[in-house]
Structure 1
Amino acid sequence: MSGKARVVVVGGGVAGALLAKIMQGHADVVLLDPKEYLEIPWAELRSMVEPSFAERSLIYHKDYLTDATIVTSSAVDITKDAVLTADGQSLPYDYLVIATGHALNSPGSRAERIKEFQRDNEKIQSSDSVLIIGGGPTGVELAGEIVVDYPEKKVTLIHRGPRLLKFIGDKASKKSLDWLTSKKVDVLLQQSVDLGSLSDTDKEIKQGYLAQKHALLVAKNLKLLIKGSPNTKLATYSTGYPLALVSLGRNEGVAQLPFLTLIGCLPGKIKSRDLFISKTRKQMGLNG
Structure 2
Amino acid sequence: MIPPRLLRWGLAFAALGLAFLGALLVIRGGDFGWRLIVLGLPLSLLLALAGDALSANFGGTLRGRWRALLQFMQPWLWWLALSVALKIPVPLWPEGFPLLGLLSTAALFASALTFAAGRVGWARAGAMALFACLTGLGVEVLGSQTGIPFGQYSYATSPPPTVLTVPLMVPLGWFAFPLAGLLLSGGRPWLAGLLIMLWDVGLEPLMTAQRYWLWSDPQPLWAGAPVQNFLGWWAVGTLIAWGMQRLSGERWAAVRTPGPSFALAYFTEAFFLPGGLLLVGRPLEAGVTLLAMLLGAALALGVGRR
TM range (shorter): 0.3 to 0.5
Relative contact order higher in (CA < 8 Å, ≥ 6 apart): 2
Question: Relative to total residues, which structure has the larger strand share, 1 or 2?
Answer: 1
Q: Which has the larger radius of gyration?
A: 1
- TM normalised by structure 1 equals 0.33
